[in-house]
Amino acid sequence: MLTTLAVANYRSLRDLVIPLGRLTLVTGANGSGKTSLYRALRLLAETAQGRLIATLAQEGGFTSTLWAGPETISRTMRQGRVPIQGGPRSKPISLALGFAGDAYGYAIDLGMPSPENPFPLDPVIKGEAMWTGERLSRSSLFAERRNALVRLRMSDSGVWREAMDALSPFDSMVTHCADPADGFELLSMRERMRDWRFYDALRTDPDAPARRPGIHTYTPVLASDGADLAAALATIRAIGDARTLDETIEAAFPGSRLLDDPAGLRLRQHGLLRPLGPTELSDGTLRFLLLVAALLSPRPPELMVLNEPEASLHPSLMPPLAHLLKTAARQTQIVLVSHSAALIAALRETGCCEEVRLEKSFGETAAPDCESPAWTWPKR
């Protein structure tokens, strides 16, 4: 399980270190930094897929995603005695992301390319570190990258070995030095990160992928766009927790039942003579079914991250959704971003979530109610 997420100089997250629990609810007003936190986790997952730099480029490039405020906000600036201003930098430009858990931790540090770099808009990877346990230290470190040089510590002898001396500044050691023989820990971490799942803006409009006809094939993981909803629900019924599936649908839509129809998704609803298919379901009903399919996956990932899942759901659906989240959190760690008062209240009622409330102060996201876990960034 991940216990800490750390972000530096990414959008409004200038210096944020937050604790993560089994089920973490991230809340906050509009513009407080919730989606930035979701994206920071997503960028870490993209690192394991070799797509970090490309994803940053899609977000507008390094200079757009880099913290746009001053390097530090002094006390006199906060008191309004001097204007917010930049001044000479004391440290190099760095956008850094990292996490730690009970098994291992990882951090990556991105910086400005040198003037001769042919891709001046892309950041370069300046450093990476992987360690065992919750805190980076000289004794817990076992894989380290500084610019193009990667060193690994042998788990049996404890001796450091140079694994690569010319790693491209756009490639991560997580994808390029994960070797089954001597980079086994990197490989195992990479595979676990590749399994993290993200659900954001699951579409329910008339052209939504989830409304297209779909046949029942073995689908233990719902696609991130929900295109294989029918198959994912049928797979839960066949090899997963069919009872919770039926109970959740009954709690959300009393008298309704999902039918086992190989032709696709069919929902029998109270009072109707025939079941309805995916093109006929309401936006809220379809979204709820998408969340059920994601959360009851028969192959639960280590981590699932949901961004504002409650959009278009009526407040009456929040208690069944909260119950479903609580059930899913027994198998998978969940980070949930939401500003729905109804969902927050329903989750508090379950008593199983830890809350991280974000707030913006001087353009910077802070989590004033939680104690920041201890965190050390790798050295450049």
Ligand X SMILES: Nc1ncnc2c1ncn2[C@@H]1O[C@H](COP(=O)(O)OP(=O)(O)OP(=O)(O)O)[C@@H](O)[C@H]1O
- Which residue ranges make up the site for ligand X (CB under 6 A)? 11-12, 28, 30-36, 65-69, 339, 363
Residue 33 binding: pick among Mg ion, ligand X, none (C-beta 5-8 Å cut-off by kind):
ligand X
CA Rg value for the chain = 23
Residue 101 binding: pick among ligand X, Mg ion, none (C-beta 5-8 Å cut-off by kind):
none
Nearer to ligand X, 176 or 203 (CB): 203
Residue window 9-38: x/- pattern of binding to Mg ion, with contact defined by CB under 5 A: --------------------------x---
CB of 87 to Mg ion, least distance (A): 31
Q: Which residues contact 361 (CB under 8 A, 6 or more apart)?
A: none
CB of 135 to ligand X, least distance (A): 27
Residue 32 binding: pick among Mg ion, ligand X, none (C-beta 5-8 Å cut-off by kind):
ligand X
CB of 234 to ligand X, least distance (A): 34
Residue 30 binding: pick among Mg ion, ligand X, none (C-beta 5-8 Å cut-off by kind):
ligand X
The CA distance from 190 to 297, in Å, is: 21
Contact 377, 128 (CB under 8 A): no
- Closest Cα partner for 322 from 295, 357, 358? 295
The secondary element (H helix, E strand) that includes residue 292 is: helix 283-295
The CA distance from 134 to 187, in Å, is: 19
Residue 67 binding: pick among ligand X, Mg ion, none (C-beta 5-8 Å cut-off by kind):
ligand X
Residue 11 binding: pick among ligand X, Mg ion, none (C-beta 5-8 Å cut-off by kind):
ligand X
User: Residue 354 — left, alpha, or beta (φ > 0 → left; ψ -120 to 50 → alpha)?
Assistant: beta
CB of 93 to ligand X, least distance (A): 12
Residues 368-374: contacts with CB within 8 Å, 24+ apart?
A: 370/18, 370/19, 371/19, 372/17, 372/18, 372/19, 373/3, 373/4, 373/17, 373/18, 373/19, 373/100, 373/134, 374/135
Nearer to ligand X, 146 or 357 (CB): 357
Nearer to Mg ion, 35 or 297 (CB): 35
- Closest Cα partner for 30 from 369, 322, 365, 368? 365
Q: Does 297 bind Mg ion (CB under 5 A)?
A: no
Residue window 33-72: x/- pattern of binding to Mg ion, with contact defined by CB under 5 A: --x-------------------------------------
Partners of 336 in beta bridges: 25, 306
Buried b (16+ CB within 10 A) or exposed e, 148-161: eebbbbeeeeeeee
CB of 358 to ligand X, least distance (A): 6
CB of 84 to ligand X, least distance (A): 12
CB of 30 to Mg ion, least distance (A): 7
The residues binding Mg ion (CB under 5 A) are 35
